[in-house]
Amino acid sequence: MADRLAPVSDNQPDAAPAATAPTGPRPRLLLVDGHSMAFRAFFALPVDKFSTVNGEPTNAVYGFTSMLANLLRDESPTHVAVAFDAGRSTFRTEQYAEYKGTRDATPEPFRGQVALIRKVLAAMRIAVLEKPNIEADDILATLSVQAQAAGMDVLISSGDRDMFQLVNDQVTILYPVRGVSDLWRMTPEAVTERYGVGPERYSDLAALVGESSDNLPGIPGVGPKTAAKWITTYGGLEGVVAHVDRITGKAGEALRANLDQVLLNRRLNRLLTDVELPLTPADLTVQPWDREEMLTVFDALEFRVLRERMFAMVAAEASPPEPVEAGELTLVTPAEGTLGDWLRERAGRRLALDVRGKGTPVGADAWSVAVVDDGGEATVVDLAEVSPADEKALAEWLADPAAAKTVHGAKAAGHALAGRGLLLAGVTFDVELAAYLCEPDRRAYDLAELTFSYLRRELTADAGSGAQGALDLELDGSDDARRAAVRAAAVADLTDVLSSELGKRGAARLLTEVELPLVDVLGRLERTGIAADREHLVELERYFDGIVTSEAADAYAAIGREVNLGSPKQLQEVLFDQLGMPKTKKIKSGWTTDAAALTDLYARTEHPFLQHLLAHRDAIRLRQTVEGLLRSVADDGRIHTTFMQTIAATGRLSSTDPNLQNIPIRTEDGRRIRRAFVVGPGYETLLTADYSQIEMRIMAHLSGDEGLIEAFRSGEDLHRYVGSRVFGVATEDVTSEMRSKIKAMSYGLAYGLSSFGLSKQLDIAVGEAAGLMEDYFGRFGGVRDYLTGVVDEARATGYTATILGRRRYLPDLTSDNRQRRDTAERMALNAPIQGSAADLIKVAMLGVDRELTTRGLGSRLLLQVHDELVLEVAPGERAEVEALVREQMGSAGGDLSVPLDVSVGTGSSWHEAGH
């Protein structure tokens, strides 16, 4: 292993450590290829949807401006410029008349839009460059080189692949893949991964393969794979040319026949980097917009929504995060047998970890472990080659709860290590969880994303070197090691930033006392899995399959033909064209065929097709669920879900692969699936424990409404109690109809239900629903005060908070788009309630797990389904486990103003244990 892990700093002896670089944010230059991006936008957006009332097309302007706004927001450049081509003739067409000759004439609706884009750019005070006879690419290439020399990072947005030759550690191309909203970050690694050669060789590859959009033919029969192989074998195009006679086969012949074209291609695709320009990168600083002009231009373009979005964006740009430069990173390889010493020398310091491997509950494996200390000294252990002595030292350190570690994704890391028989303990920070607590509405928390948004640098950037030359891109062991070390270093830097961020948001304890300890519990629970009765599942599959077949046949018979019953489009044809049924609710593709609509149609038409269609849908869905479960049964006869801890913005867990939080329960056939989840061998029974009306109890507590609190303290049926107060009758006179109305309303309130929604759900007049709500709030005024207060407070502070201080930020509460604002208000109503319930059951899980462990019990947690826990009880432990589960779940809220009722059931299957 020793020679595989080359020290990073020794590789770049002349690289200036960032620590000595001038302080302050590292400048970032954003360069945009104007024509290229405008053209992409033009084809991405329908022109008929984007025109002014006068019929002037604006789709390219809209798409381009929107893309640019997103780039300014997401990339926070300090400098920016847009380059345009000036005319069609260039020095390239002079050399090769057919250059770009296949391009069709500019589409008519595109003409004129470039002038509009220039107006927008002028209002945004963004520099525009162009030069006769020179393409935009060459201008951007020149600026890119100058900017690098000035120590800037460069981002280039262009749909021209020729630009890939410019990519290096300082230069990233943002290449549009579909439309203009989806941009690939073409870093050196991305280019290499995609084309098999690094960016410095990309133009060689393009010369061999050709570029159809430039009308540059390649070698017939030679694709990127062959070209990459040649380039790697002979060291670039020069080498290929030098050895042209050595290349055998058809491809070799073709190469020799087309050599002139290849060399011409190479001359033409080489970008100029010495174009004389009136401006230098330093002149391109981002300027504040000309607000007046922006309003005028956007007004003329009739971009109302985009205008609001962009101005809102500027308002939100109050404090962009400070870049955190990568410090010097030294990759060391302790002599064999001395890893333990290296780790012991760092005792008492928190070290950052990166584990490469497969971090799943089943089939886990770890390949390498990178460790970096707070001084930037790193070591990477290749687990396939580590010596027994070093592995032992590593295992002891990993398992030592007193050896503090910070990671990204502790649960996956723990799984991966467990796959090698290694135990991970002592994790005192997890940057993924920390980022989730800071920004629970984010959709991605991968290390590259977090590095970019919190450290303002690229994860791929070579750590420990400011500017340097060509990067070693060979995929050998030392490069893998370096990457792992860079990841660990990013974790270390993120830990610093996120710790302070967490502190500012009052979420530090939530991390250390809830989410981090929960990682351990969830990891064990996922590895344990829940036993499945495979035969029962197979039998169910047959059973549901029979129903699917017969219901389909009956459905076809009812309409006299066979259609795809799973195609909403074909169903619409049958229902509304063939059978002429009344139209249902509108959806994007026409009219809905969902179950509610079909049931309604059946009540009106009694057409047997609808009955069979509904029965078919049910059966096909249940069959699908069963088949999914069958596929998920692992070799140990158990199903191992993965609980996602950073998905739900409210703080809930989610379950995937398979989702065990949406196993059917409402219908009899559905419940049969629950019978397939059984107690495993060696255990006595399954036990389920769930909170009753947890969300209403939380609403009672948070609102402090005396009436609602009393309802729970009285021990009476909640909806009956509330119904008696709302309708002014004795509890025993509350009819089941009254009770169900109250139940719907109570739960609806926690979701931001409107009187309109309530009227629809209960099938009553809007006025009646509004009256019902009035009566409700008349008796439970504290609830109304609480709900309005929650929204008001969230609007003022920007966030809601749960009992444990878990925040959800809702900037849309102040949006001037009503739809968005209303949605945000409903989220604000629901988040503290759903989120507090999530807090409570997490605390309960920790308590249950702790008690099981400290009492030395063999019973174990298997599942969490939001307000329910499922456990597997070891022989003889039933009573004790039930008692401790009740105790831990009941006390999870601390001193809430209402009791937390827990109901418990046991049985040999999940169905039997349920209640």
Asked if residue 618 binds DNA (CB under 7 A), the reply is yes
Asked if residue 646 binds DNA (CB under 7 A), the reply is no
How many angstroms separate the CA atoms of 403 and 758, rounded? 55
Instruction: Indicate which single residue of 131, 161, 201, 652 sits in contact with DNA (rule: CB under 7 A).
Output: 652
For tokens 């060979």, the residue is 474
Nearer to DNA, 661 or 731 (CB): 661
Nearer to DNA, 381 or 827 (CB): 827
Give me the least distance between CB of 819 and DNA, in Å please.
8
Asked if residue 551 binds DNA (CB under 7 A), the reply is no
422-441 residues near DNA, rule: CB under 7 A: none
Buried-exposed string 729-759: b where 16+ CB fall within 10 A, e elsewhere: eeeeebeeebbebbbbbbebbbebbebebbb
Tallying the residues shown for the chain, one arrives at: 915
Using CB under 7 A, which of the segments 470-478, 511-519, 582-590, 774-782 binds DNA? 582-590
Nearer to DNA, 75 or 618 (CB): 618
Report residue 312 as tokens: 């809102």
Asked if residue 757 binds DNA (CB under 7 A), the reply is yes
Q: Position 825: which residue type?
A: E
Asked if residue 568 binds DNA (CB under 7 A), the reply is yes
Give me the least distance between CB of 566 and DNA, in Å please.
4
Instruction: Indicate which single residue of 479, 657, 768, 785 sits in contact with DNA (rule: CB under 7 A).
Output: 657
8-67 residues near DNA, rule: CB under 7 A: 43-44
Residue 117's nearest CA partner among 66, 74, 154 is 66
- CB atoms under 10 Å from CB of 863, counted, come to 25
Distances, alpha carbon 818 to alpha carbons 427, 607, 893, in Å: 44, 40, 36
Asked if residue 754 binds DNA (CB under 7 A), the reply is yes
Q: Is 47 helix (H, G, I), strand (E, B) or coil?
A: coil
**Percentages (nearest 5) of helix, strand, coil residues in the chain:** 55, 15, 35
Give me the least distance between CB of 731 and DNA, in Å please.
23
Asked if residue 315 binds DNA (CB under 7 A), the reply is no
Residue 370's nearest CA partner among 359, 383, 389 is 383
Q: Is 845 helix (H, G, I), strand (E, B) or coil?
A: helix
Using CB under 7 A, which of the segments 389-397, 699-707, 819-827, 896-904 binds DNA? 819-827
Residue 286's nearest CA partner among 173, 121, 141, 158 is 121
Give me the least distance between CB of 659 and DNA, in Å please.
4
Question: In this structure, what DSSP letter does residue 355 have?
Answer: E
How many angstroms separate the CA atoms of 780 and 657, rounded? 42
Asked if residue 616 binds DNA (CB under 7 A), the reply is no
Contact 286, 129 (CB under 8 A): no
Give me the least distance between CB of 140 and DNA, in Å please.
23
Asked if residue 654 binds DNA (CB under 7 A), the reply is yes
Nearer to DNA, 44 or 902 (CB): 44
846-865 residues near DNA, rule: CB under 7 A: 865
Contact 676, 625 (CB under 8 A): no
Instruction: Indicate which single residue of 747, 779, 798, 815 sits in contact with DNA (rule: CB under 7 A).
Output: 747
Asked if residue 101 binds DNA (CB under 7 A), the reply is no
Give me the least distance between CB of 515 and DNA, in Å please.
16
- CB atoms under 10 Å from CB of 767, counted, come to 10
Give me the least distance between CB of 279 and DNA, in Å please.
34
Contact 408, 432 (CB under 8 A): yes
Nearer to DNA, 52 or 567 (CB): 567
User: Which ranges of 606-660 would DSSP assign to H, the alpha helix?
Assistant: 608-632
822-841 residues near DNA, rule: CB under 7 A: 823, 826-827, 830-831, 834
Instruction: Indicate which single residue of 752, 782, 847, 893 sits in contact with DNA (rule: CB under 7 A).
Output: 752
Element (H, E) at 636: none
Q: Which residues contact 830 (CB under 8 A, 6 or more apart)?
A: 650, 750, 751, 752
Asked if residue 788 binds DNA (CB under 7 A), the reply is no
Asked if residue 665 binds DNA (CB under 7 A), the reply is yes
Asked if residue 284 binds DNA (CB under 7 A), the reply is no
For tokens 């029965």, the residue is 615
Nearer to DNA, 95 or 788 (CB): 788
Number of chain positions touching DNA (CB under 7 A): 64
Asked if residue 194 binds DNA (CB under 7 A), the reply is no
Asked if residue 174 binds DNA (CB under 7 A), the reply is no
Instruction: Indicate which single residue of 135, 867, 872, 882 sits in contact with DNA (rule: CB under 7 A).
Output: 867
Residue 519's nearest CA partner among 585, 609, 606, 427 is 427
Sheet architecture: strand order including 427-430:
330-331, 377-382, 365-372, 351-358, 405-407, 427-430
Instruction: Indicate which single residue of 647, 764, 770, 857 sits in contact with DNA (rule: CB under 7 A).
Output: 647
Residue 79's nearest CA partner among 169, 168, 151 is 151
Site of interaction with DNA (CB under 7 A): 43-44, 178, 564, 566-570, 587-589, 592-596, 598, 617-618, 621, 624, 628, 644, 647-650, 652, 654-659, 661-667, 670, 744, 747-748, 751-754, 756-757, 760-761, 823, 826-827, 830-831, 834, 865-868
